[in-house]
Structure 1
Amino acid sequence: MGLIQGFLTMMFGNGRNFVRETVEVFTENAEAGAQRAHDVQGQAMQQFGAEFAVPRQGVFDRVMDGVNRLPRPAMALGTLGLFVAAMVDPIWFAARMQGVALVPEPLWWLLGVIVSFYFGARHQLKTQTFQRDIATTMARVPQVVQNIGALQKLRADSPGVADPGPDASLNIAVLSPEENPALRDWKEARQA
Protein backbone atom coordinates (compact mmCIF):
# COMPACT_ATOMS: atom_id res chain seq x y z
CA MET A 1 0.00 0.00 0.00
CA GLY A 2 2.86 2.37 0.76
CA LEU A 3 4.40 1.82 -2.65
CA ILE A 4 1.17 2.73 -4.48
CA GLN A 5 0.61 5.72 -2.23
CA GLY A 6 4.18 6.90 -2.83
CA PHE A 7 3.74 6.52 -6.59
CA LEU A 8 0.43 8.45 -6.59
CA THR A 9 1.93 11.17 -4.41
CA MET A 10 4.81 11.48 -6.87
CA MET A 11 2.41 11.67 -9.84
CA PHE A 12 -0.35 13.85 -8.39
CA GLY A 13 0.87 15.15 -5.05
CA ASN A 14 2.07 18.58 -3.96
CA GLY A 15 -0.60 20.29 -6.07
CA ARG A 16 0.89 18.94 -9.31
CA ASN A 17 -0.47 16.66 -11.99
CA PHE A 18 2.43 14.95 -13.72
CA VAL A 19 0.24 13.43 -16.45
CA ARG A 20 -1.39 16.75 -17.30
CA GLU A 21 1.96 18.56 -17.36
CA THR A 22 3.43 15.91 -19.65
CA VAL A 23 0.49 16.03 -22.06
CA GLU A 24 0.61 19.84 -22.19
CA VAL A 25 4.13 19.60 -23.58
CA PHE A 26 2.65 18.01 -26.71
CA THR A 27 -0.82 19.58 -26.94
CA GLU A 28 -2.19 22.95 -25.93
CA ASN A 29 -4.38 23.24 -22.88
CA ALA A 30 -7.73 24.23 -24.39
CA GLU A 31 -8.78 26.32 -21.39
CA ALA A 32 -5.49 28.22 -21.29
CA GLY A 33 -5.61 28.70 -25.09
CA ALA A 34 -9.13 30.10 -24.88
CA GLN A 35 -8.04 32.48 -22.12
CA ARG A 36 -5.09 33.70 -24.22
CA ALA A 37 -7.38 34.20 -27.24
CA HIS A 38 -9.83 36.13 -25.05
CA ASP A 39 -7.03 38.35 -23.76
CA VAL A 40 -5.74 39.05 -27.29
CA GLN A 41 -9.24 39.90 -28.53
CA GLY A 42 -9.84 42.16 -25.54
CA GLN A 43 -6.59 44.03 -26.16
CA ALA A 44 -7.41 44.40 -29.86
CA MET A 45 -10.84 45.82 -29.04
CA GLN A 46 -9.32 48.26 -26.55
CA GLN A 47 -6.80 49.38 -29.16
CA PHE A 48 -9.55 49.74 -31.77
CA GLY A 49 -11.71 51.73 -29.36
CA ALA A 50 -8.79 54.00 -28.48
CA GLU A 51 -8.39 54.88 -32.15
CA PHE A 52 -11.90 56.31 -32.26
CA ALA A 53 -11.73 57.93 -28.84
CA VAL A 54 -9.99 60.96 -30.36
CA PRO A 55 -12.67 63.31 -31.72
CA ARG A 56 -12.39 64.15 -35.40
CA GLN A 57 -12.73 67.89 -35.49
CA GLY A 58 -11.04 69.02 -38.67
CA VAL A 59 -12.51 69.02 -42.16
CA PHE A 60 -9.55 66.97 -43.38
CA ASP A 61 -10.24 64.22 -40.82
CA ARG A 62 -13.90 64.02 -41.80
CA VAL A 63 -13.08 63.98 -45.53
CA MET A 64 -10.51 61.20 -45.05
CA ASP A 65 -12.98 59.17 -42.98
CA GLY A 66 -15.49 59.51 -45.81
CA VAL A 67 -12.91 58.52 -48.45
CA ASN A 68 -11.98 55.45 -46.39
CA ARG A 69 -15.62 54.34 -46.46
CA LEU A 70 -15.95 54.59 -50.28
CA PRO A 71 -14.11 51.52 -51.70
CA ARG A 72 -16.46 48.80 -50.44
CA PRO A 73 -19.70 50.39 -51.66
CA ALA A 74 -18.00 51.49 -54.88
CA MET A 75 -16.83 47.94 -55.60
CA ALA A 76 -20.23 46.46 -54.77
CA LEU A 77 -22.18 49.01 -56.83
CA GLY A 78 -19.65 48.75 -59.67
CA THR A 79 -20.10 44.98 -59.80
CA LEU A 80 -23.88 45.38 -59.89
CA GLY A 81 -23.41 48.01 -62.61
CA LEU A 82 -21.48 45.48 -64.70
CA PHE A 83 -24.40 43.06 -64.47
CA VAL A 84 -26.81 45.80 -65.56
CA ALA A 85 -24.51 46.82 -68.44
CA ALA A 86 -24.28 43.20 -69.59
CA MET A 87 -28.08 43.01 -69.76
CA VAL A 88 -28.70 46.44 -71.31
CA ASP A 89 -26.05 46.32 -74.06
CA PRO A 90 -24.35 42.91 -74.30
CA ILE A 91 -22.23 43.85 -77.30
CA TRP A 92 -20.84 46.96 -75.59
CA PHE A 93 -20.15 44.87 -72.47
CA ALA A 94 -18.44 42.11 -74.48
CA ALA A 95 -16.22 44.66 -76.23
CA ARG A 96 -15.13 46.06 -72.84
CA MET A 97 -14.43 42.57 -71.52
CA GLN A 98 -12.23 41.92 -74.57
CA GLY A 99 -10.21 44.95 -73.46
CA VAL A 100 -9.96 43.52 -69.95
CA ALA A 101 -8.51 40.34 -71.49
CA LEU A 102 -5.47 42.42 -72.52
CA VAL A 103 -4.59 43.39 -68.95
CA PRO A 104 -1.31 41.61 -68.12
CA GLU A 105 -1.40 39.05 -65.33
CA PRO A 106 1.13 40.90 -63.12
CA LEU A 107 -1.24 43.87 -63.10
CA TRP A 108 -4.05 41.59 -61.91
CA TRP A 109 -1.70 40.38 -59.18
CA LEU A 110 -0.97 43.96 -58.19
CA LEU A 111 -4.68 44.78 -58.06
CA GLY A 112 -5.27 41.63 -56.00
CA VAL A 113 -2.53 42.61 -53.56
CA ILE A 114 -3.86 46.15 -53.19
CA VAL A 115 -7.43 44.96 -52.63
CA SER A 116 -6.27 42.19 -50.29
CA PHE A 117 -4.22 44.54 -48.15
CA TYR A 118 -6.98 47.13 -48.15
CA PHE A 119 -9.48 44.65 -46.78
CA GLY A 120 -6.98 43.16 -44.35
CA ALA A 121 -6.53 39.80 -46.04
CA ARG A 122 -3.22 38.03 -46.31
CA HIS A 123 -2.03 37.54 -49.81
CA GLN A 124 0.93 35.57 -51.02
CA LEU A 125 2.26 36.56 -54.38
CA LYS A 126 3.36 33.74 -56.68
CA THR A 127 6.64 34.19 -58.46
CA GLN A 128 6.41 34.12 -62.22
CA THR A 129 8.44 35.88 -64.84
CA PHE A 130 7.18 39.22 -66.10
CA GLN A 131 8.41 38.70 -69.67
CA ARG A 132 6.45 35.46 -70.12
CA ASP A 133 3.23 37.15 -69.02
CA ILE A 134 3.75 40.12 -71.34
CA ALA A 135 4.46 37.75 -74.25
CA THR A 136 1.31 35.74 -73.46
CA THR A 137 -0.75 38.93 -73.32
CA MET A 138 0.71 40.23 -76.57
CA ALA A 139 -0.04 36.91 -78.26
CA ARG A 140 -3.73 37.50 -77.46
CA VAL A 141 -3.88 40.94 -79.15
CA PRO A 142 -4.75 39.72 -82.70
CA GLN A 143 -7.54 37.48 -81.37
CA VAL A 144 -8.94 40.32 -79.27
CA VAL A 145 -8.87 42.72 -82.24
CA GLN A 146 -10.65 40.09 -84.36
CA ASN A 147 -13.26 39.52 -81.62
CA ILE A 148 -13.95 43.27 -81.31
CA GLY A 149 -14.38 43.49 -85.11
CA ALA A 150 -16.81 40.57 -85.07
CA LEU A 151 -18.74 42.15 -82.19
CA GLN A 152 -18.98 45.47 -84.05
CA LYS A 153 -20.52 43.66 -87.04
CA LEU A 154 -23.23 42.28 -84.73
CA ARG A 155 -24.47 45.71 -83.66
CA ALA A 156 -28.06 46.41 -84.65
CA ASP A 157 -27.07 49.70 -86.31
CA SER A 158 -24.37 48.08 -88.49
CA PRO A 159 -25.17 48.24 -92.24
CA GLY A 160 -26.45 44.95 -93.66
CA VAL A 161 -26.72 43.20 -90.29
CA ALA A 162 -30.18 41.83 -91.19
CA ASP A 163 -29.29 40.98 -94.80
CA PRO A 164 -30.04 37.29 -95.42
CA GLY A 165 -27.38 37.12 -98.15
CA PRO A 166 -27.66 35.18 -101.44
CA ASP A 167 -29.73 32.34 -99.94
CA ALA A 168 -33.03 32.43 -101.88
CA SER A 169 -34.96 30.21 -99.48
CA LEU A 170 -33.90 32.39 -96.56
CA ASN A 171 -34.99 35.50 -98.49
CA ILE A 172 -38.42 33.98 -99.09
CA ALA A 173 -38.71 32.93 -95.42
CA VAL A 174 -37.77 36.43 -94.29
CA LEU A 175 -40.20 38.18 -96.63
CA SER A 176 -43.22 35.89 -96.14
CA PRO A 177 -45.13 36.72 -92.98
CA GLU A 178 -45.92 34.04 -90.46
CA GLU A 179 -49.14 33.55 -88.58
CA ASN A 180 -48.85 35.27 -85.22
CA PRO A 181 -51.71 34.23 -82.92
CA ALA A 182 -50.99 36.93 -80.36
CA LEU A 183 -51.02 39.66 -83.00
CA ARG A 184 -54.25 38.25 -84.52
CA ASP A 185 -55.94 38.24 -81.08
CA TRP A 186 -54.78 41.79 -80.44
CA LYS A 187 -56.16 43.01 -83.78
CA GLU A 188 -59.47 41.29 -83.11
CA ALA A 189 -59.66 42.84 -79.64
CA ARG A 190 -59.06 46.32 -81.10
CA GLN A 191 -61.72 45.91 -83.76
CA ALA A 192 -64.30 44.73 -81.24
Structure 2
Amino acid sequence: MARPRQFDKNEVLEKAMLCFWQNGYEGSSLKNLEEATGIGRISLYNTFQDKEHLFIAAQNMYYQSSNDFMSQFYNENATLDDLVKFIQNVISKDPDEAPAKFGCLMVNTALDTKTISDQIAENVKNYRQMIIGHYKSLLGRLQKNGEIRSDINIDSAAEFIIGSFWGAMSISRLYKDRSVAKLQLDMVIETIKGWST
Protein backbone atom coordinates (compact mmCIF):
# COMPACT_ATOMS: atom_id res chain seq x y z
CA MET A 1 0.00 0.00 0.00
CA ALA A 2 1.38 3.38 -1.04
CA ARG A 3 2.36 5.74 1.73
CA PRO A 4 0.17 8.89 1.68
CA ARG A 5 1.91 12.13 0.71
CA GLN A 6 2.71 14.22 3.77
CA PHE A 7 3.05 17.58 2.03
CA ASP A 8 1.03 20.05 -0.02
CA LYS A 9 2.09 19.68 -3.67
CA ASN A 10 1.29 23.29 -4.59
CA GLU A 11 3.19 24.63 -1.58
CA VAL A 12 6.24 22.55 -2.51
CA LEU A 13 5.94 23.65 -6.13
CA GLU A 14 5.81 27.31 -5.13
CA LYS A 15 9.00 26.91 -3.08
CA ALA A 16 10.68 25.11 -5.97
CA MET A 17 9.58 27.88 -8.32
CA LEU A 18 11.24 30.50 -6.10
CA CYS A 19 14.43 28.44 -6.04
CA PHE A 20 14.49 28.22 -9.85
CA TRP A 21 13.55 31.88 -10.07
CA GLN A 22 16.49 32.89 -7.92
CA ASN A 23 19.13 30.47 -9.19
CA GLY A 24 18.01 29.54 -12.70
CA TYR A 25 17.41 26.05 -14.04
CA GLU A 26 21.05 25.02 -14.26
CA GLY A 27 21.96 26.76 -11.01
CA SER A 28 19.29 24.94 -9.00
CA SER A 29 20.83 21.66 -7.90
CA LEU A 30 18.83 18.86 -6.36
CA LYS A 31 20.37 19.81 -3.03
CA ASN A 32 19.14 23.42 -3.53
CA LEU A 33 15.66 22.14 -4.33
CA GLU A 34 15.61 19.81 -1.33
CA GLU A 35 16.63 22.65 0.97
CA ALA A 36 14.15 25.09 -0.59
CA THR A 37 11.18 22.74 -0.46
CA GLY A 38 12.02 20.79 2.69
CA ILE A 39 11.35 17.61 0.69
CA GLY A 40 13.84 14.85 -0.09
CA ARG A 41 14.77 14.01 -3.67
CA ILE A 42 12.91 10.69 -3.59
CA SER A 43 9.66 12.45 -2.71
CA LEU A 44 10.36 15.14 -5.31
CA TYR A 45 10.99 12.51 -7.96
CA ASN A 46 7.94 10.47 -6.94
CA THR A 47 5.78 13.58 -7.31
CA PHE A 48 7.35 15.39 -10.28
CA GLN A 49 9.42 12.66 -12.05
CA ASP A 50 12.65 14.63 -12.40
CA LYS A 51 14.17 18.11 -12.25
CA GLU A 52 13.00 19.06 -15.73
CA HIS A 53 9.37 18.12 -15.05
CA LEU A 54 9.55 19.97 -11.73
CA PHE A 55 10.77 23.06 -13.57
CA ILE A 56 8.05 22.76 -16.20
CA ALA A 57 5.45 22.53 -13.42
CA ALA A 58 7.01 25.66 -11.86
CA GLN A 59 6.81 27.42 -15.24
CA ASN A 60 3.13 26.49 -15.51
CA MET A 61 2.45 27.88 -12.04
CA TYR A 62 4.28 31.11 -12.92
CA TYR A 63 2.38 31.38 -16.22
CA GLN A 64 -1.00 30.94 -14.52
CA SER A 65 -0.20 33.43 -11.78
CA SER A 66 0.95 36.05 -14.31
CA ASN A 67 -2.04 35.44 -16.58
CA ASP A 68 -4.47 35.78 -13.67
CA PHE A 69 -2.81 39.01 -12.55
CA MET A 70 -2.77 40.56 -16.01
CA SER A 71 -6.36 39.52 -16.70
CA GLN A 72 -7.38 41.34 -13.54
CA PHE A 73 -5.11 44.35 -14.08
CA TYR A 74 -5.86 44.89 -17.77
CA ASN A 75 -9.60 44.54 -17.47
CA GLU A 76 -12.19 46.29 -19.64
CA ASN A 77 -11.86 49.44 -17.51
CA ALA A 78 -8.07 49.70 -17.77
CA THR A 79 -6.64 52.88 -19.29
CA LEU A 80 -3.33 53.99 -20.78
CA ASP A 81 -2.58 55.58 -17.40
CA ASP A 82 -2.97 52.15 -15.80
CA LEU A 83 -0.32 50.78 -18.16
CA VAL A 84 1.99 53.64 -17.23
CA LYS A 85 1.35 53.06 -13.50
CA PHE A 86 2.13 49.37 -13.94
CA ILE A 87 5.53 50.19 -15.45
CA GLN A 88 6.21 52.81 -12.77
CA ASN A 89 5.39 50.20 -10.12
CA VAL A 90 7.98 47.84 -11.60
CA ILE A 91 10.60 50.61 -11.44
CA SER A 92 9.72 51.64 -7.88
CA LYS A 93 9.76 48.14 -6.34
CA ASP A 94 12.42 47.61 -3.72
CA PRO A 95 15.29 45.92 -5.60
CA ASP A 96 16.07 43.83 -2.52
CA GLU A 97 12.52 42.56 -2.18
CA ALA A 98 12.06 38.90 -3.06
CA PRO A 99 10.96 37.79 -5.57
CA ALA A 100 11.27 41.21 -7.28
CA LYS A 101 15.05 41.08 -7.02
CA PHE A 102 15.10 37.88 -9.07
CA GLY A 103 13.69 39.58 -12.17
CA CYS A 104 11.32 37.43 -14.23
CA LEU A 105 11.48 33.63 -14.19
CA MET A 106 10.73 33.41 -17.92
CA VAL A 107 13.21 36.12 -18.92
CA ASN A 108 15.91 34.45 -16.82
CA THR A 109 15.10 31.15 -18.51
CA ALA A 110 15.24 32.71 -21.98
CA LEU A 111 18.82 33.80 -21.25
CA ASP A 112 19.67 30.18 -20.49
CA THR A 113 18.74 28.70 -23.86
CA LYS A 114 21.82 26.48 -24.19
CA THR A 115 20.93 24.47 -21.09
CA ILE A 116 17.16 24.12 -21.40
CA SER A 117 15.05 21.61 -23.30
CA ASP A 118 12.81 22.38 -26.26
CA GLN A 119 9.74 22.07 -24.02
CA ILE A 120 11.05 24.60 -21.51
CA ALA A 121 11.95 26.99 -24.35
CA GLU A 122 8.49 26.53 -25.87
CA ASN A 123 6.90 27.40 -22.52
CA VAL A 124 8.90 30.67 -22.46
CA LYS A 125 7.64 31.50 -25.96
CA ASN A 126 4.04 30.72 -24.96
CA TYR A 127 4.39 32.92 -21.88
CA ARG A 128 5.70 35.77 -24.01
CA GLN A 129 2.78 35.43 -26.42
CA MET A 130 0.33 35.45 -23.52
CA ILE A 131 1.78 38.73 -22.22
CA ILE A 132 1.76 40.26 -25.71
CA GLY A 133 -1.87 39.18 -26.07
CA HIS A 134 -2.84 41.18 -22.97
CA TYR A 135 -1.06 44.28 -24.27
CA LYS A 136 -2.63 43.95 -27.72
CA SER A 137 -6.08 43.51 -26.20
CA LEU A 138 -5.71 46.62 -24.03
CA LEU A 139 -4.17 48.80 -26.72
CA GLY A 140 -6.62 47.63 -29.39
CA ARG A 141 -9.58 48.53 -27.16
CA LEU A 142 -8.08 51.93 -26.33
CA GLN A 143 -7.48 52.64 -30.00
CA LYS A 144 -11.01 51.58 -30.92
CA ASN A 145 -12.34 53.94 -28.23
CA GLY A 146 -10.24 56.79 -29.57
CA GLU A 147 -8.04 56.97 -26.46
CA ILE A 148 -4.79 56.37 -28.35
CA ARG A 149 -3.77 57.55 -31.80
CA SER A 150 -5.07 55.68 -34.84
CA ASP A 151 -1.61 55.60 -36.45
CA ILE A 152 -0.19 53.42 -33.66
CA ASN A 153 0.50 49.89 -34.89
CA ILE A 154 -0.87 47.72 -32.07
CA ASP A 155 1.29 44.68 -32.86
CA SER A 156 4.45 46.78 -32.93
CA ALA A 157 3.44 48.66 -29.77
CA ALA A 158 2.89 45.40 -27.86
CA GLU A 159 6.25 44.04 -29.04
CA PHE A 160 7.91 47.33 -28.04
CA ILE A 161 6.53 47.13 -24.49
CA ILE A 162 7.50 43.52 -23.83
CA GLY A 163 10.87 43.92 -25.54
CA SER A 164 11.64 46.91 -23.36
CA PHE A 165 10.46 45.11 -20.22
CA TRP A 166 12.47 41.98 -20.92
CA GLY A 167 15.53 44.00 -21.81
CA ALA A 168 15.26 46.04 -18.62
CA MET A 169 14.83 42.92 -16.49
CA SER A 170 17.85 41.30 -18.11
CA ILE A 171 20.00 44.36 -17.42
CA SER A 172 18.76 44.54 -13.82
CA ARG A 173 19.68 40.92 -13.21
CA LEU A 174 23.07 41.28 -14.93
CA TYR A 175 24.17 44.34 -12.95
CA LYS A 176 22.04 43.73 -9.84
CA ASP A 177 21.24 47.43 -10.18
CA ARG A 178 17.99 48.95 -11.44
CA SER A 179 19.34 52.38 -12.33
CA VAL A 180 20.04 51.52 -15.98
CA ALA A 181 16.72 49.70 -16.31
CA LYS A 182 14.96 52.71 -14.81
CA LEU A 183 16.43 54.98 -17.49
CA GLN A 184 15.17 52.61 -20.15
CA LEU A 185 11.69 52.25 -18.68
CA ASP A 186 11.38 56.00 -18.08
CA MET A 187 11.79 56.44 -21.84
CA VAL A 188 9.22 53.70 -22.45
CA ILE A 189 6.77 55.59 -20.24
CA GLU A 190 7.32 58.83 -22.14
CA THR A 191 6.80 57.00 -25.44
CA ILE A 192 3.57 55.39 -24.25
CA LYS A 193 2.24 58.73 -22.98
CA GLY A 194 2.84 60.07 -26.47
CA TRP A 195 0.36 57.55 -27.89
CA SER A 196 -2.53 59.31 -26.18
CA THR A 197 -4.94 61.36 -28.30
Q: State the TM-score, normalized to the length of structure 2.
A: 0.27
Q: State the TM-score, normalized to the length of structure 1.
A: 0.27
Higher Cα Rg, which structure: 1
Where relative contact order (Cα < 8 A, 6+ residues apart) is larger, the structure is 2
